[in-house]
Amino acid sequence: MGHAPVEVLRKMVDTKMIKDAKAPSKSSGTSVCRGCQQDKMVQKPFPSNCDKRHYDTFELLHFDICGPMEENSLGGSKYLLLIVDEASGCMKGFCLRAKSESEDCIKTYIMKVQTQFGKKVKFVRHDGAREFATNSLKDFYEDEANHGSVRAPDERHGRASYPNYRHDRPQHAASR
C-alpha cells in the first residue's frame, strides 16, 4: 500500500535501522514510482480526444468562477471570473466583488470579441453554475451565440476550471 519516501529510506539505512540494505541513490530522489503516481491522482485522467471538433478562434468560450478568496483584493474583489477561448487558449480574467457581476462581464466580453475581432461566439461552455444560467444570459446567448449555452461535463470543462483549481489548491491545502 505504498512505501516511505526516498529521503526516509536513506535515513533509515544511514542510521542502521534497516540491516543489509542499500541506500537509494541520490538520482532516485526525484523519481516517483508508478504506484505513487496512481495513488496521488485525484481521478482517472480523461481521454485527450473528448471533443474531436476543431473550433475557430472565439467560436467556443469556457467560463468558470473561483472564490470567494480568503483575502479581498485591493479593489475589494473576492471572486475571479475566467473566460477561456477553446481554439487559442487565450484567457481573460475579471475580478468581481460578487458573483452577480459575472453576467455583465460575460456580455461585455462577447460583444467586444464581436466588434474588435469580427468573430461570432457560437458556443459557451460552463459548469452549470447559476450565475451562468440566468434568464437574461440565456436570452443573450440565444441572441448573440448561434447555439446557446452548453452545460459541460466535467472532463470537457477543464479548460476553464483547471487554472482556477490550480490557483485555489495551495490555499485549500494550507487551510487543512
Q: What is the pLDDT along the chain (176 residues), one digit of tens a residue?
A: 456 777 887 888 888 887 777 776 666 555 566 666 666 666 665 555 455 568 889 998 888 999 899 888 899 999 999 999 988 889 999 999 999 999 999 999 999 999 999 998 888 888 888 888 888 888 888 777 655 556 555 554 455 554 554 444 444 444 43
Amino acid in the structure at residue 166: R
User: Strand 60-66 vs strand 149-151: parallel, antiparallel, or unpaired?
Assistant: unpaired
H/E element, 79: strand 79-85
Distance CA 104, CA 73 (A): 20
pLDDT of residue 98: 94
Cell (9 digits) for 99: 458573483
Secondary structure (3-state) at 149 = strand
Cell (9 digits) for 157: 470543462
Cell (9 digits) for 106: 460575460
pTM: 0.60
In the 8-state DSSP scheme, what is residue 159? H
Which domains are delineated in the chain?
6-39 (no CATH), 60-174 (3.30.420.10)
Helices (H), the chain: 6-14, 34-39, 102-117, 135-144, 154-174
pLDDT of residue 161: 53
pLDDT of residue 109: 94
In the 8-state DSSP scheme, what is residue 162? H
